[in-house]
Amino acid sequence: MAFASKNDSLTLHTDLYQINMMYTYFKMGLHEKNAVFECYFRNMPFDSGYAVFAGLEHIVSYLEQLKFDESDLEFLRQNENYDEDFIDYLRHFQFKCSVNSVVEGEIVFNNEPLLQVEGPLAQCQLIETAILNFVNFQTLVATKASRIKSAAEGDIVLEFGTRRAQEADAAIWGARAAYIAGFDATSNVRAGKLFDIPISGTHAHALVQTYQNDYEAFMAYAQTHHDCVFLVDTYNTLRSGVPSAIRVAKEMGDKINFQGVRIDSGDMAYISKKVRQQLDEAGFYDAKIFASNDLDEKTILNLKMQGAKIDAWGVGTKLITAFDQPALGAVYKIVSIEDQNGNMRDTLKLSSNAEKVSTPGKKQVWRITNNLKHEKSEGDWISVYDENPEKFNSLYMFHPKYTYINKIVEDFKARPLLQPIYESGQLVYTQPDIRQIREYAKQSLAALWEEYKRDLNPQEYPVDLSEKLYNHKMDLINQLREENNSKAMK
Ligand SMILES: Nc1ncnc2c1ncn2[C@@H]1O[C@H](COP(=O)(O)OP(=O)(O)OP(=O)(O)O)[C@@H](O)[C@H]1O
Ligand SMILES: O=P(O)(O)OC[C@H]1O[C@H](OP(=O)(O)OP(=O)(O)O)[C@H](O)[C@@H]1O
Ligand SMILES: O=C(O)c1cccnc1
């Protein structure tokens, strides 16, 4: 049967091993045990000093549709040897987990929980793959987009990536992530419709090649459009493209809104300066110069350094594919599980690599700001879930690995980053409008010192553990080591 006629949903958008584990839990009577899983990434992408969280909207739309229909069950039945009682359990599957998450647009860092799922073990397991899929890609693209927008220093930045994206979902969710992080519009019309993002478009070389003449092509476009940006580099930017654009703009006068020209090749520093000169000499001081062609934050910064006269940047491939780092590497780990007596037992994964030793237990992340001096963030403080830093007069913050790096913060404000999204399967979170999310991302970034935001070698933002959590982690490491050693001796 062809793809188009298949009964599709995101329920089976999971790795088979999740369903295999669900089956084991089910058969062993463990599937309803309460468990807590947390999602985080270990290293900052692009050597960036910060990341921008995105993906929650897709997670919510996925969880809202999460149920196995008969075609899903039939597929599992045909492919795996699950007993019918398990198939029947899946048939009656109803999402019952609680989910806490940082909100979209939040500035986040490595090694802090971004999203937390608590509920029946089998359910927590099923949703791991989709959650990671959405968070990994969207957070990566939002982070890249934020870096590009910062490099552009307030200029207009347009998202042009669809044609080079890793398929359709990446194109539209990437366009959304880019808009959240500060891009001004997308060229993807569907993303505009689905997510209420502004759309924007100029024209391609094909139009000019169709007429085989800059002037005729621009004139035809001008006769059929009010807002006009002419692509001037098909034949010769300075000799033909720009002069033709100017001629059409003069001849059409008020009949069009001559917004400017786009250049898509060549030495963009040199050419843009010359183009600016030509436009100014013709009296088109307000006409903008758009640039595109394999741009990213590095080229934009460099072009600015060279004094390029570019007002708007079209960015495609390197944004949408997160070209220089195509994976964020976020993971989803179990941190606590109900034992035989019904008590929660915190878990930890030991590793010879210190970075990979996980932090046990259900946690909360607090963004600490100093009340008196400024509104900037002092660092993030990860606590045991029910610990409240505001009960302290001053907060002792220390590096979780190099504990001699520490400070005491007086008169601080602590804001919990993990917010309730689902409570026992019920959606309790109202997703803000996309413009609010975008504004939130802007404010969140503004609360970060410049040292963490610079493109090259940013300072490491403090992500610390509370003393209680740190001691808990150390106790558990020692306990596990002792248990393993005594087992090995036997
Ligand atoms: N002045 C500049 N300084 C640094 N990088 C630049 C400058 N001008 C253009 N670039 C970048 O250099 C790269 C040039 O790529 P490429 O060789 O594909 O362009 P081109 O030959 O001008 O155009 P095309 O092959 O697409 O017709 C692009 O990534 C572009 O953004
Ligand atoms: O370079 P990116 O950052 O990916 O931005 C998108 C690119 O897509 C278009 O080129 P393409 O060669 O696909 O088509 P066109 O030049 O014929 O319009 C456009 O001119 C940009 O160069
Ligand atoms: O509108 C544009 O100029 C555009 C759109 C997609 C890709 N490249 C350019």
ipTM of model: 0.96
Q: How confident is the model at residue 490 (pLDDT cuts 50, 70, 90)?
A: low
The pocket around ligand 2, CB under 6 angstroms, is made up of 160, 163-164, 204-206, 264, 292-295, 314-318
Burial of 298 (0-12, 13-18, 19+ CB in 10 A): middle
pLDDT tens figures, 172-182: 999 999 999 99
Tell me, what's the pLDDT at 373? 66
Q: How confident is the model at residue 204 (pLDDT cuts 50, 70, 90)?
A: very high
In a domain, 378, yes or no: no
- b/e sequence 121-137, b meaning 16+ C-beta within 10 Å: bbbbbbbbbbbbbbbbb
**Rounded CA gap, 443 and 52, in Å?**
12
Q: pTM above the 0.90 mark? A: yes
pLDDT tens figures, 225-280: 999 999 999 999 999 999 999 999 999 999 999 999 999 999 999 999 999 999 99
Q: How confident is the model at residue 318 (pLDDT cuts 50, 70, 90)?
A: very high
340 φ, ψ (degrees, to nearest 5): -60, -25
pLDDT tens figures, 98-146: 999 999 999 999 999 999 999 999 999 999 999 999 999 999 999 999 9
Residue with CA nearest ligand 3 atom 3? 202
* Contact of 210 with 246, CB cutoff 8 Å: no
Residue 50 Cβ < 6 Å to ligand 3: no
pLDDT greater at residue 485 or residue 419: 419
Residue with CA nearest ligand 2 atom 14? 204
DSSP-derived pairing of the beta strands 115-120 and 98-101: antiparallel
Burial of 40 (0-12, 13-18, 19+ CB in 10 A): buried
Token pair recorded at residue 305: 């350094």
pLDDT exceeds 90 at position 372: no
The residues, ordered by sequence, that sit 6+ positions from 71 with a Cβ below 8 Å of its Cβ are: 6, 7
In a domain, 282, yes or no: yes
Ligand nearest to the CA of 265: 1
Tell me, what's the pLDDT at 479? 92
**Rounded CA gap, 322 and 315, in Å?**
11
In a domain, 207, yes or no: yes
* Contact of 336 with 182, CB cutoff 8 Å: no
Least confident of 118-132, 207-221, 429-443, 468-482: 468-482
Q: How confident is the model at residue 350 (pLDDT cuts 50, 70, 90)?
A: confident
Q: How confident is the model at residue 390 (pLDDT cuts 50, 70, 90)?
A: confident
pLDDT exceeds 80 at position 488: no
Residue 217 CA, ligand 3 centroid: distance in Å: 17
In a domain, 314, yes or no: yes
**Rounded CA gap, 447 and 173, in Å?**
26
Tell me, what's the pLDDT at 244? 98
Tell me, what's the pLDDT at 212? 98
Least confident of 1-10, 30-39, 71-80: 1-10
Token pair recorded at residue 103: 């909100």
**Structural domain boundaries enclosing 156:** 147-321
Helices (H), ranges, 293-405: 297-305, 317-320
pLDDT exceeds 70 at position 459: yes
In a domain, 313, yes or no: yes
The pocket around ligand 1, CB under 6 angstroms, is made up of 265-269, 293-295, 299, 302-303, 306
Residue 195 CA, ligand 2 centroid: distance in Å: 23
Identity of residue 109: F
Question: Roughly how many angstroms between the first and final C-alpha of the chain, as a whole number?
Answer: 57
Least confident of 120-134, 337-351, 391-405, 423-437: 391-405
Tell me, what's the pLDDT at 370? 82
Name the β-bridge partners of 389. none
Structural domain count of the chain: 1
pLDDT tens figures, 147-183: 999 999 999 999 999 999 999 999 999 999 999 999 9
Tell me, what's the pLDDT at 116? 98
Residue 60 CA, ligand 3 centroid: distance in Å: 31
Provide the CATH number for the domain around residue 162.
Answer: 3.20.20.70
Tell me which DSSP letter residue 284 carries: -
Identity of residue 413: K
**Mean predicted lDDT score pLDDT of the chain:** 96
Pocket residue to mutate for ligand 3, from 156, 157, 159, 160, most atoms within 8 A of Cβ: 160
Tell me which DSSP letter residue 208 carries: H
